[in-house]
Amino acid sequence: MSSRVGSTSSMNVLAEKLSWYCALFMALMLVLSCCESTENEFAAKMMVERPPHAAAAGVCDEIYVVREGETLHTISDKCGDPFIVEENPHIHDPDDVFPGLVIKITPFNHRL
């Protein structure tokens, strides 16, 4: 009977060790997945939040066609041109911007 008790005890120890290894593995996977998503979020944020001089350095051409969902404010931020309305006399209402509208862009760092 004592060999049976010893066998059960060693099985319990083995099961306990195995459960600890599984718990450690799961914790490691959780930490690694958090680091990966944080890195991806950081990369995405860096792509969206460009400084005006970096955005103007090649993101927008001089002639720009408005896309769906864009406003003059978002285009101004994206292209580095805070004076879009002043340079485009055909825009009578800054809130009336629609997809397909053609506007002139002059980045702030290219002004004299």
CA atoms within 13 A on the CB side of 19: 6
Query: Which domain covers residue 5, as residue numbers?
Result: 1-49
pLDDT confidence of residue 33: 74
Position 37, amino acid: S
Q: Do 45 and 56 lie in a common domain?
A: no
- Whether 91 contacts 84, CB under 8 Å: yes
Q: State pLDDT tens for residues 74-94.
A: 998 998 888 898 999 999 888
Q: Do 57 and 91 lie in a common domain?
A: yes
User: What are the φ and ψ backbone dihedral angles of 104, each rounded to 5 degrees?
Assistant: -95, 135
Predicted TM-score (pTM) of the model is: 0.46
pLDDT confidence of residue 37: 53
Q: Do 25 and 70 lie in a common domain?
A: no
Which residue's entry shows tokens 């600890």?
A: 20
Q: Do 27 and 58 lie in a common domain?
A: no
Q: State pLDDT tens for residues 30-68.
A: 777 776 555 556 555 544 444 444 444 446 889 999 999
As for how many domains the chain has, the answer is 2
Coil, helix or strand for 104?
A: strand
